[in-house]
Amino acid sequence: MDERSGRIMRAAHIGGGARHRGNAVHDTRSWETITAALDRVCGPGKSSGDWVRYLCPVHEGDGRPHNPSLGVVYNRRKGKTVVRCFAGCTDEAVLARLGLRIRDLFDRPSDHQFSSGTGSSRHESTSLADRAILAAGLSLDRRKPDPGRIVGRTRTIATYIYRRPDGRPEGRITRRHTPRERGHDKHFSQERMTENGWCSGGFAPIPFFLPDIAAAVADGADIYICEGEQDACAGRRAGLIATTNAGGALSWHADHAAWLRGAHHIWIVTDRDAPGYRRAVRVAATLWSLVDDIRIVQARDGKDLTDHFNAGHLGEELDPVPLLDNHFRTRQSLSGEVRRLS
Ligand SMILES: [Zn+2]
């Protein structure tokens, strides 16, 4: 029942409009135009709360199966249709694939000013994450300084147990450091729980501290998605309900997100570097249709959440990440607006 087509949703939206205004057909012209083009180019949409989801024509148009990233919603008060690729494609790029322009987002484009030409087209090939990385003055690639030679023995720094919602252990991460002249190398190894105890190898894709996370989803409490176990533990010590995934910044995927379905308020705490920003977009893209609200924030001082707390800051003093926070936040404010009006 959840998988209604965009065409049916469109009829529902028009019906809602007609109750408010006599002249509904003209009022929803942008919605008609955009969804007809999406139905044609991307196939039928699926309803998801106030939004209709489609495969993104820019980055999901390869004919292979994807979890749809493109959301479309009609803003009745503004007479405007919102299209948003939650993986970060620009509105201009999405519309170009549909043979449409920004002015087509409005029921009455004559009421609005549009810049002529293709001033924004240079962004079309640049991802949202890359634009945010450059806007923050960070480097797109990760060039690590030479740490020098090994100056000591590798030793275990910490072990972290991943548990099922009932507390049963599922997996274990061991963190080891090898000292170098400048800093240290980090090594992580994974084990999974079997009938015969711990065996080396990967384990099921579950969030860290899952018993707490499951309870927080049920209670509607805020959840902080950190980068790595060390930051998740730092968040927990500071009183936050914090989690992460095993296997590094880019190992988060839809199976982790599924455990957060129905959560109220998610804070994605990103490291201040290119992999961190890319991870934040990836995490948000898996969550946007599952949770009420997403914020993307970073340490006020230093690189990560551990640095933030070590500098004496509080959880509520995390700073929004320019471009990224707004991209995913806008969805909420628009969705809320639509809900209030309908
Ligand atoms: Zn896209």
> What's the gap in Å between 62 CA and the centre of ligand 1?
12
- Per-residue pLDDT, averaged over 204-208, amounts to 97
> Does 17 lie in the same domain as 117?
yes
User: Which residues are near ligand 1, the ion (C-beta closer than 5 Å)?
Assistant: 56, 58-59, 85, 87, 89
Reported as a pLDDT band with limits 50, 70 and 90, residue 122 is very low
110 falls within a domain: yes
> What's the gap in Å between 217 CA and the centre of ligand 1?
28
134 falls within a domain: no
If DSSP states are collapsed to H, E and C, what string results for the chain? CCCCEHHHHHHHHHHHHHHHCCCHHHHCHHHHHHHHHHHHHHCCCEEECCEEEECCCCCCCCCCCCCCCEEEEEECCCCEEEEEECCCCCHHHHHHHCCCCHHHHECCHHHCCCCCCCCCHHHCCCCHHHHHHHHCCCCCCCCCCCCCCECCCCEEEEEEEEECCCCCEEEEEEEEEEEECCCEEEEEEEEEEECCEEEECCCCCCCCCHHHHHHHHHHCCCEEECCCHHHHHHHHHCCCCEECCCCCHHHCCHHHHHCCCCCCEEEEEECCCHHHHHHHHHHHHHHCCCCCEEEEEECCCCCCHHHHHHCCCCHHHCEECCCHHHHHHHHHHHHHHHHHHC
- Per-residue pLDDT, averaged over 34-47, amounts to 92
205 falls within a domain: no
Q: How many residues would you count in the chain?
A: 342
> Does 115 lie in the same domain as 69?
yes
> Does 306 lie in the same domain as 251?
yes
Boundary (domain end) residue, out of 200, 234, 262? 200
How many domains would you assign to the chain?
Answer: 3
Q: What percent of the chain has pLDDT over 90?
A: 58
14 falls within a domain: yes
> What's the gap in Å between 289 CA and the centre of ligand 1?
15
> What's the gap in Å between 173 CA and the centre of ligand 1?
34
> What's the gap in Å between 167 CA and the centre of ligand 1?
38
Q: What is the pLDDT of residues 159-190, one digit of tens each?
A: 999 999 999 999 999 999 999 999 999 999 99
Reported as a pLDDT band with limits 50, 70 and 90, residue 150 is very high
Is the pLDDT higher at 86 or at 231?
A: 231
HSE toward the beta carbon, residue 65, CA cutoff 13 A: 0
Q: What is the pLDDT of residues 282-330, one digit of tens each?
A: 999 889 888 989 999 999 999 999 999 999 999 999 999 998 998 887 6
> Does 333 lie in the same domain as 215?
yes
140 falls within a domain: no
Reported as a pLDDT band with limits 50, 70 and 90, residue 92 is confident
> Does 264 lie in the same domain as 229?
yes
> Does 119 lie in the same domain as 179?
no
**Mean pLDDT, all residues of the chain:** 85
Find, among 256, 290, 270, 282, the residue nearest to 224 by Cα. Answer: 270
137 falls within a domain: no
Domain around 20: 6-125
> What's the gap in Å between 207 CA and the centre of ligand 1?
26
**With 50 as the cut, is the pLDDT of residue 342 above it?**
no
> What's the gap in Å between 64 CA and the centre of ligand 1?
14
> What's the gap in Å between 55 CA and the centre of ligand 1?
8
> What's the gap in Å between 127 CA and the centre of ligand 1?
9
Reported as a pLDDT band with limits 50, 70 and 90, residue 335 is low
Q: What is the pLDDT of residues 41-82, one digit of tens each?
A: 999 999 887 889 999 999 888 888 888 899 999 988 888 999
> Does 214 lie in the same domain as 193?
no
- CATH code: domain of residue 246: 3.40.1360.10
**With 70 as the cut, is the pLDDT of residue 132 above it?**
yes
